[in-house]
A and B are shown apart, each in its own frame.
Chain A
Amino acid sequence: MDMKSLYLLVPMAPLVGAIIAGLFCRIIPRWVAHTATIAGVAIAFITSIVIFKDVMAGNTFNGAVYQWLTSGDYKFEVGFLIDSLTVTMMLVVTSVSLMVHIYTIGYMQEDPGYNRFFSYISLFTFSMLMLVMSNNFMQLFFGWEAVGLVSYLLIGFWYTRPTAIFANMKAFLVNRVGDFGFILGIGLVLAHFGSLDYATVFQKAPEFANVTINIWGSSEWSLMTVTCILLFIGAMGKSAQVPLHVWLPDSMEGPTPISALIHAATMVTAGIFMVARMSPLFELSTTALSFVIVIGSITALFMGFLGIIQNDIKRVVAYSTLSQLGYMTVALGASAYSVAIFHLMTHAFFKALLFLGAGSVIIGMHHDQDIRNMGGLRKYMPITWITSLIGSLALIGTPLFAGFYSKDSIIEAVKFSNIPGSGFAYFAVMAGVFVTAFYSFRMYFLVFHGEERFGKAHDDHGHAAHDAAAHTKSAHDDHAGHGDHDGDHDDEEVSHDHHHGLAPGQKPHESPWVVTLPLVLLAIPSVIIGFIGVGPLVFGDYFKMTIPGTNGIPVIFIDNAAHPAMAEFATHFHGAAAMAMHAFSTAPFWLALSGVALSWFFYMKRPDIPAAIKARFEWLYTVLDNKYYFDKFNEAFFAGGARMLGKGLWKGGDVAVIDGTINGSARLVGWVASAVRCFQTGHIYSYAFTMIIGLVVLMTLWVVRA
């Protein structure tokens, strides 16, 4: 088999699995659904490894597999660009996806939508692969929208829950905002470059470095800056950067496996991947990079704070995802694209591990997600405990663990960066280290150590559940816009929570092997991948190979004269082991350590202190609990504004203008129809007469006039 058909096999195998499980989801038994989809993803994974070896041997590819249509001079094609960046993403996507597929067998065991779920996650894998393997903007946009669609379907997977419907609607709408910028950016590329092909665009990009365009008024804007910022707005939506981050925490309404796969490991990193892929464009605009680094650092720091006060186990992990995505964005802004991709990769493994670990805890706790009801689980769930510990250590950047290498590289790269905003970014990523360590281990201690709070204190639990219900209620309140149904929702939620959770005296139990096996398999890369990867990926030649089809443009292009951060950073690197040794004498390590120590002291030793702080700084707690009022603002301003606009348009536009026009045109149609009927008498002589009239008119116009 030649390589081209292998490339094609990678996205197609999961697609076939998705079709089998999806189209026949009502007919086939469960084992067929999961066998077909797992086989599809496994084939994709193995093929990706083969392709990886081939790429390592120097065989890259860039070409169309199908020409969809031509419109004038524009060509729209389906094609693949296979190079080191693509193949890295392929490996991450297929391997995490494979783990999540296996895990799902255990997690969704009792769910009636079992086959549908497998179909969706395989469809997601297909879409994501199309996105990363694309060699042009159109296919990128296809993949971009397709993953968005699957994400929407999966957040609302339990479509009978009002909160899930609200969350998927929110994710959908917020992503539309980002996509609007994204498609405008693509439109600018097509308008000015005349092509959507990456290679052509990258090749031509330097010619456009000093081109300016007129957007409104007489102000001149640099074309590359506008294009890159618009493309990045797309990335902000997909990769949940402030202020378009609001959908990601709510997306935790979906089943846990997809929180791991889509909302942590892969889909949300699409924006990061896209910016790295577009490095030849972004390098031409320091302004755009500055915008990127500022947005990234705000996300990295401020989303971390929110993680501190969350009590839902999945939401804690969700906020850490937001914060880590901020780190990756900061790296992009500092022109350290390879570091961003490296962090993307390590993060994919340890964050998937943390999410799946959280899912395992949720199974053990019979679908109670409140960490205040847990504690001491170490004894009952040993495998989940040890793997979660590994994941947490990787996340906070413990030397030698995967997260350490990628996160420290980001911090170092930012230190050497000189673009506007890098000073703030350096502060944000440093402070973020402490915050990350604090909330990660807060969760870890509350879940796995200390007093066993489950089962016995059911009154407390009821209270907590009520808290959660009240919380979701506020969402409904805004959503529904009028309060008469809220009582019902509230009752449903409370009874729902009572139904789940451990009964008094019941103990949590370790999850089945299909759940723990992926945990173990993900724990391995969470430990070692950083040590192996840091040399070649960040400093080596891995990303320096030429993009096939271009005139020597490397996969990750850095304008070292303008953005010297990476070059300078590279001179300080003396191997992975030395980097880890050196870490013990640097600030991030001690910040992380103090974060862990403080959380131990607060939540294991003196639980009264956090409570006291909460009472003392009530206003701060309120701000954090309301997530800086982003949701409130969106609800009031955008949703409220849209409702007002809609009402105005309805009253003014619909009723007055459109109804007027429609009724008017309906009358016109009626008139025309009756006129036509008048001629269409059914009498043959009137038909002949009409024909003759037509002929006479034509003759008058042409013969008599001439």
Chain B
Amino acid sequence: MTLAEMSFVLPDLRPAAAEIFLLVMACAILLIDVFSKNPKRTMTFVLTQVTLLCCVFITFATSSAEITYTFSNMFVDDLMADFLKLLLYLTVLVVMFYSRAYMLERAPHATGEFFALTLFATLGMMVMISANHFVTVYLGLELLSLSLYAMVALNRDSVQATEAAMKYFVLGALASGLLLYGMSMIYGATGTLEITGVAERLAMGVANKTVLTLGLVFLVAGIAFKLGVVPFHMWIPDVYHGAPTAVTLLIGSAPKLAAFAIVMRMLVNGLIVLAVDWQQMLIILSVLSMAIGNLAAIAQTNLKRMLAYSAISHMGFMLLGIVTGVVGGDARYALNAYSSAMFYVVTYVITSAGTFGMILLLARSGFESDQLDDFKGLNKRSPWFAAIMMMLMFSMAGVPFFVGFFAKLSVLQAVVAAGYMWLAIAAVIFSLIGAYYYLRVVKLMYFDEPTDTSPIDAPFDIKLLMSANGLAVAVLGIFPQALMSLCAYSLLRSL
């Protein structure tokens, strides 16, 4: 090997500019926080927010309609990545806004770490979104997961939280193992770990089918854990319930975007040839998730736990959009199907952030406000926030003219177009069952007497953001077209 061949060529850093910037800032913020004396962590908070805003700007500035690869094809920058990242920044921004007061009250010593860890988690998600290599996917996933494990346990005096963190960690490690094993099998079958490369090798038809299928099963299991679909969902209720609500809010919102992205990267971009197989696997997982998620949610008395089961059912519903992309080798409806799934996940993230945000808004020191009974008579305490919560619940249930309805509608359209009539009917029936527990919250707020009559004392800016979040659900329901078109356009440019 000559010297010239060994010389180090600097990779094109532009596509990853936002990631690099975020990494630098996250490290800096961690250091600055150590030396900060301010008990309110204002500096840390403002810096994280500014960092995210800068990321918005950088992603915007470096965005192009072309697909660019860098770091020896390990990293990809396309419109889907840019769009998902922008949504990710906004979600994390909103999450931190909602969480700040709560964290300062519950874990004043760890609030700085909370912000820094959130930034690292965000970085992990960004890497997942832009991964074009199985190792990159794994890298991002672990960065996200490790940050989340730590965050669940931030309130280390709480037995519940530490227990949840421990469960999350052990099961997460198991899932990572499954995922890695699946990746290694695929490497064995195709001889490459680069996602686009895998797709090329598979298209040539040289791979060993048995090894490949084995790898696929493990890969799907790993993804299913991350999405939280049955039977890989067991961690979800315990972690959602046990973690501090601020962390639940984070786990319940932004990572769904990243999970969607790795489904698109690994299964659609990489293993589209095996679509028949993984689509059938996901159909099973999807139906099970909708059934168990919706039925189990009815029995819950804790709102966080109820929302955990609701998340399971929603991810099951979203998968319906993924499984209808290729019908009998014909990918004619793929764009419609995948963009419906993307629209579903985006609207779910918006709604879910609002719902957990509402729990945070109502919580105060010594009172979590996470029981269903805590929402009794909310209309008497605050008609405005009761109305906002009602809109969020209606959207979750898929009541017409809230955005959740259009999300369900577009996924169902994809399912019907693919000819899976029975699947569409099952999805509608399970949604109807699900409507029960969302509407029960509305009933509690409007028709029951409050058990607690204290007024809501949240800072004005959080109230404002909460209102905007709730109204967004209604406004997007009246004008869903723009967001739908954005999803479709960004996918069109990336597939």
In the complex, the chain A residue whose C-beta lies closest to that of B225 is A691
Cβ of B174 within 8 Å of any chain A Cβ, yes or no, is: yes
- Which residues from 652 to 706 on chain A have a C-beta closer than 8 Å to any C-beta of chain B? 668-670, 672-674, 676-677, 679-680, 682, 684, 686-688, 690-691, 693-695, 698-699, 701-703, 706
- A673-B238 contact, Cβ under 8 Å, with A698-B220, A702-B217: no
Stretch at the interface among A69-77, A87-95, A321-329, A620-628: A69-77
How far is A680 from B297 in the complex, measured between Cα atoms in Å?
13
* CB proximity of A483 to chain B, nearest CB, Å: 31
How far is A680 from B238 in the complex, measured between Cα atoms in Å?
9
When the two chains form their complex, are residues A699 and B217 in contact, meaning their CB atoms are under 8 A apart? yes
How far is A672 from B175 in the complex, measured between Cα atoms in Å?
26
* CB proximity of B145 to chain A, nearest CB, Å: 15
**Number of chain A residues close to chain B: CB under 8 A:** 32
Cβ of A31 within 8 Å of any chain B Cβ, yes or no, is: no
- A673-B295 contact, Cβ under 8 Å, with A680-B234, A682-B238: yes
Stretch at the interface among B62-70, B91-99, B165-173: B165-173
Give the chain B neighbours of A680 by CB distance below 8 A. 234, 237-238, 296
Cβ of A214 within 8 Å of any chain B Cβ, yes or no, is: no
Cβ of A571 within 8 Å of any chain B Cβ, yes or no, is: no
* CB proximity of B359 to chain A, nearest CB, Å: 21
How far is A450 from B206 in the complex, measured between Cα atoms in Å?
108
Please indicate which of the listed interface residues B167, B170, B217, B221 has the most CB atoms of chain A within 10 Å of its own CB: B217
When the two chains form their complex, are residues A72 and B413 in contact, meaning their CB atoms are under 8 A apart? yes
- A672-B292 contact, Cβ under 8 Å, with A69-B406, A70-B481: yes
* CB proximity of B168 to chain A, nearest CB, Å: 10
Cβ of B213 within 8 Å of any chain A Cβ, yes or no, is: yes
Cβ of A216 within 8 Å of any chain B Cβ, yes or no, is: no
When the two chains form their complex, are residues A676 and B296 in contact, meaning their CB atoms are under 8 A apart? yes
- A676-B167 contact, Cβ under 8 Å, with A669-B298, A698-B220, A702-B216: no
Cβ of B450 within 8 Å of any chain A Cβ, yes or no, is: no
How far is A699 from B211 in the complex, measured between Cα atoms in Å?
11
The number of chain B residues touching the other chain, given as a range, is 35 or more
Please indicate which of the listed interface residues B213, B234, B277, B409 has the most CB atoms of chain A within 10 Å of its own CB: B234
How far is A679 from B235 in the complex, measured between Cα atoms in Å?
12
* CB proximity of B186 to chain A, nearest CB, Å: 14
When the two chains form their complex, are residues B298 and A684 in contact, meaning their CB atoms are under 8 A apart? no
In the complex, the chain A residue whose C-beta lies closest to that of B479 is A68
Give the chain B neighbours of A670 by CB distance below 8 A. 299
Cross-chain pair count, CB within 8 angstroms: 90
Cβ of A67 within 8 Å of any chain B Cβ, yes or no, is: yes
In the complex, the chain B residue whose C-beta lies closest to that of A689 is B234
Give the chain A neighbours of B218 by CB distance below 8 A. 695
Give the chain B neighbours of A668 by CB distance below 8 A. 295
How far is A64 from B481 in the complex, measured between Cα atoms in Å?
15
Give the chain A neighbours of B231 by CB distance below 8 A. 690-691, 693-694
Cβ of B188 within 8 Å of any chain A Cβ, yes or no, is: no
- A691-B174 contact, Cβ under 8 Å, with A680-B234, A680-B237, A698-B221: yes
Give the chain B neighbours of A674 by CB distance below 8 A. 299
In the complex, the chain A residue whose C-beta lies closest to that of B231 is A694
- Which residues from 184 to 225 on chain B have a C-beta closer than 8 Å to any C-beta of chain A? 209-210, 213-214, 216-218, 220-221, 224-225
- Which residues from 468 to 495 on chain B have a C-beta closer than 8 Å to any C-beta of chain A? 478-481, 484
- Which residues from 51 to 70 on chain A have a C-beta closer than 8 Å to any C-beta of chain B? 67-70
When the two chains form their complex, are residues B232 and A691 in contact, meaning their CB atoms are under 8 A apart? yes
When the two chains form their complex, are residues B221 and A673 in contact, meaning their CB atoms are under 8 A apart? no
Please indicate which of the listed interface residues A68, A670, A677, A703 has the most CB atoms of chain B within 10 Å of its own CB: A703
Give the chain A neighbours of B174 by CB distance below 8 A. 688, 691
How far is A156 from B209 in the complex, measured between Cα atoms in Å?
72
How far is A682 from B310 in the complex, measured between Cα atoms in Å?
19
How far is A615 from B409 in the complex, measured between Cα atoms in Å?
66
- Which among B217, B292, B481 is the interface contact of A695 at CB below 8 angstroms? B217
- A702-B213 contact, Cβ under 8 Å, with A672-B296, A690-B231, A690-B234: yes
In the complex, the chain A residue whose C-beta lies closest to that of B238 is A682
Cβ of B22 within 8 Å of any chain A Cβ, yes or no, is: no
- Which residues from 126 to 178 on chain B have a C-beta closer than 8 Å to any C-beta of chain A? 166-167, 170-171, 174-175, 178
When the two chains form their complex, are residues A68 and B232 in contact, meaning their CB atoms are under 8 A apart? no
When the two chains form their complex, are residues B295 and A695 in contact, meaning their CB atoms are under 8 A apart? no
* CB proximity of A455 to chain B, nearest CB, Å: 49
Give the chain B neighbours of A688 by CB distance below 8 A. 170-171, 174
How far is A668 from B433 in the complex, measured between Cα atoms in Å?
12
In the complex, the chain B residue whose C-beta lies closest to that of A699 is B217
How far is A401 from B434 in the complex, measured between Cα atoms in Å?
64
Give the chain A neighbours of B479 by CB distance below 8 A. 68
In the complex, the chain A residue whose C-beta lies closest to that of B230 is A694
6 other contacts beyond A676-B296, A687-B235, A694-B221, with CB at 8 A cut-off? Answer: A72-B413, A688-B170, A693-B231, A698-B284, A702-B216, A702-B281
A-side interface residues toward B, CB under 8 Å? 67-72, 668-670, 672-674, 676-677, 679-680, 682, 684, 686-688, 690-691, 693-695, 698-699, 701-703, 706
A-B pairs with the 5 shortest C-beta distances?
A673-B299, A694-B231, A687-B234, A672-B295, A676-B296
